[in-house]
Amino acid sequence: MKIGFLALSGVRVMDPELLQIGVNLPGFVERSKVIASLPSLGLLTLAALTPAHHEVAYLEVPDVDAPDLVAQLPGPFDLVAISSFTAMIKDAYRLADRFRAQGTRVVLGGLHVTLCPDEASLHADAIVIGEGEPVWPAVLADAEADELRKRYRATAPYDLSTAPVPRFDLLNIDRYNRLTVQTARGCPWNCEFCAASVRLQPKYRTKPAEKVIQELHEIKKLWSAPFIEFADDNTFADRRHGHALVDALIGEEVRWFTETDISVAGDETLLRKMERAGCAQILVGLEDPLDGTDGLELRTNWKAKQRAHYLESIRRIQDHGITVNGCFVLGLDTHTPESFERIWEFIQESELYEVQLTILTPFPGTPLYRRLKREGRLIDLLAWEKRTLFDIAFQPARMSTEQLRTGLIDLAERVYSAEYTSIRRRRFARRLLQKDHRSSETEAALTHR
Ligand code: B12
Ligand code: SF4
């Protein structure tokens, strides 16, 4: 069969004013440019599990509504596989419908399909619920025999020690500035709003460090000094694996970014190794550093304990030359119109190098979605295109949607302004210089003893 793996990439915001901010504010534009072109790791992984007698192609589809799209893609395909995040799902459905109208079979999978299988089923010949690896070979065998079933679902968590090297070789490598590698899947904390792969399969699993290195080596064949984003929910949740991973990365000469929780700050040895292993930045969910998170089934006890140490933890991490991208969630049930000012003060005091401001987002399939639905607080129930982390899809508890919207815009204008972006960069550089100066003085004192 000729199989097309079709990816819908790019980032998305619906609110026109925010979109404008995204275009104009330096601090925001930088990060969007960096990530907007990441390829779909899910599809590259499935391509790697596709038996060699099939012909495969990986394609980015920038505009699903382009006239003659199907004819322009290098098909015709016997089967196309499309991945899904919630914000782009309607595009994915339109793309699927166009292929099916021309007689091409479509298999849909990914996060949104897993969370809303009945809806997705209307647009596909087959859907895959949950992790793709365990069922993909069966999907292909059934498609070859013309016996595709409507639904496939893995029965057990996928063992990442058997993970194939994703088919990075299918990429037109020049169009990417970073590539993703996965070192762990899931997260033990299970926050109420989390819509990451913890929802595909809740069990937290890690990929053996040597397998991660094998993937890096494959990437290096295409790109000698790559920048890697680990596509993990929480890379260092398993500390023993975290240490093994950074030990293996030391000497690989790759720079990398990942997402983890703030508790890494308490492990000085790990931080030192991360620095040596090329860690450039970690994204850490701070949610709200000051208010309680009542009403949220967050990792309450753990979270409550960490919050008291946020400032110290951020400094400790950044003192290792690793920048922290602090991610805030606006619109929590405890938030009032005054909360934005407090968060702004915290951001300044923290000297965070990078800041991500997001709106509490009820992704389908999350406990948050179910609670807000129960409480009658969801707006535009099926407006999936607004699940961008920046658009508002629910009624906040202690302010109006407009107050939340203007609060975000006002804060974004301050945080991502040219002036404050450069202050953030300078402060980080100055502190590192001071630290380096201090450590070389200590070194000199020790050698002269
Ligand atoms: C890398 C990444 C991106 C890349 C994606 C590149 C791409 N084309 O895939 C970029 C930077 C472009 C991106 C953009 C966005 N992202 Co993003 N991103 C991630 C991140 C960090 C990792 C995703 C990943 O690679 N996972 C690893 C792969 C292996 O897993 P997977 O894709 O789920 O695939 C597995 C299964 O789902 C299944 N599968 C997947 N597809 C298919 C298809 C078929 C046919 C089959 C059979 C199976 C199958 O098999 C795979 C192997 O098991 C996650 C956070 C996280 N830590 O998970 C957020 C995350 C996925 N992103 C999120 C969001 C909100 C967005 C944006 C809306 C942000 C925005 N405002 O623009 C956009 C939407 C973009 C889009 N095109 O839809 C949310 C999605 C929540 C949801 N339920 O939709 C997440 C979970 C982060 C979060 N904060 O909650 N993102
Ligand atoms: S800590 Fe992050 S990845 Fe883990 S459940 Fe919470 S939001 Fe999701």
Cα gap 295→219, rounded to integer Å: 44
Q: Which of 411, 412, 413, 359 is nearest to 387 (CA)?
A: 359
Could you tell me if 211 and 355 lie in one domain? Answer: yes
Once rounded to an integer, what is the mean pLDDT over residues 79-98? 97
Question: Could you tell me what percentage of the chain is helix, strand and coil, using 3-state DSSP and rounding each to the nearest 5?
Answer: 45, 15, 40
Atom number, ligand 2, closest to the C-alpha of residue 261:
1
By CB atoms closer than 10 A (0-12, 13-18, 19+), residue 260 is buried
Q: Which of 225, 223, 177 is nearest to 33 (CA)?
A: 177
Once rounded to an integer, what is the mean pLDDT over residues 176-203? 87
Q: What CATH number does the domain containing 99 carry?
A: 3.40.50.280
Contact by Cβ (8 Å): 187, 238 = no
Is 448 within a domain?
no
Cα gap 71→118, rounded to integer Å: 29
Q: At what angle do helices 268-276 and 310-318 cross, to 10 degrees?
A: 40
How would you classify the pairing of strands 184-185 and 205-206?
Answer: antiparallel
Could you tell me if 26 and 112 lie in one domain? Answer: yes
Q: Rounded to whole angstroms, what are the CA distances from 411 to 25, 41, 333, 340?
A: 12, 33, 18, 7
Helices (H) and strands (E) counted in the chain, each on its own, are 17, 14
298 CA distance to ligand 2 centroid (A)? 9
* 399: containing domain: 165-439
State the pLDDT at residue 445. Answer: 52
Q: Picking from 186-195, 220-229, 280-289, which range would have the lowest pLDDT averaged per residue?
A: 186-195
- Assign 61 to helix, strand or coil: coil
Task: List the residue whose alpha carbon is closest to atom 3 of ligand 2.
Answer: 233
CA geometry: angle 270, 274, 278, nearest 5 deg: 170
Question: Residue-wise over 41-72: b if at least 16 C-beta within 10 A, else e?
Answer: bbbbbbbbbbeeeeebbbbbbeebeeeebbee
Once rounded to an integer, what is the mean pLDDT over residues 40-63? 96
Q: What CATH number does the domain containing 220 carry?
A: 3.80.30.20
Could you tell me if 261 and 180 lie in one domain? Answer: yes
Q: Does the beta carbon of 287 lie inside 6 Å of ligand 2?
A: no
Could you tell me if 247 and 220 lie in one domain? Answer: yes
Predicted TM-score (pTM) of the model is 0.94
Single-letter code of the amino acid located at 34: V
pLDDT tens-digit series, residues 50-59: 999 999 999 9
Is 117 within a domain?
yes
**What is the number of residues in the chain?**
449
Confidence of residue 433 (pLDDT cuts 50, 70, 90): confident
Confidence of residue 224 (pLDDT cuts 50, 70, 90): confident
- The mean pLDDT of the chain is 90
Q: How many domains does the structure of the chain reveal?
A: 2
309 CA distance to ligand 1 centroid (A)? 31
Is 278 within a domain?
yes
Is 302 within a domain?
yes
- For the chain, what percent of residues have pLDDT higher than 90? 71
Dump the DSSP string for 382-444: T-GGG-SSSS--B--SSS-HHHHHHHHHHHHHHHTSHHHHHHHHHHHHHHHHHHHHHHHHHHH
Q: How far does Cα 75 stand from its chain's mean position? A: 30
Confidence of residue 73 (pLDDT cuts 50, 70, 90): confident
284 CA distance to ligand 2 centroid (A)? 9
pLDDT tens-digit series, residues 135-165: 999 999 999 999 999 999 998 999 999 999 9
Give Cβ neighbours of residue 276 (< 8 Å, ≥ 6 apart): 246, 250
Is 447 within a domain?
no
Q: Is the pLDDT of residue 447 over 50?
A: no
Q: Is the pLDDT of residue 124 over 70?
A: yes
State the pLDDT at residue 26. Answer: 62
Could you tell me if 360 and 410 lie in one domain? Answer: yes
Is 445 within a domain?
no
* From 85, 123, 180, mutation site for ligand 1 pocket: most ligand atoms within 8 A of C-beta: 85
Task: List the residue whose alpha carbon is closest to atom 7 of ligand 2.
Answer: 194
Once rounded to an integer, what is the mean pLDDT over residues 3-12? 89
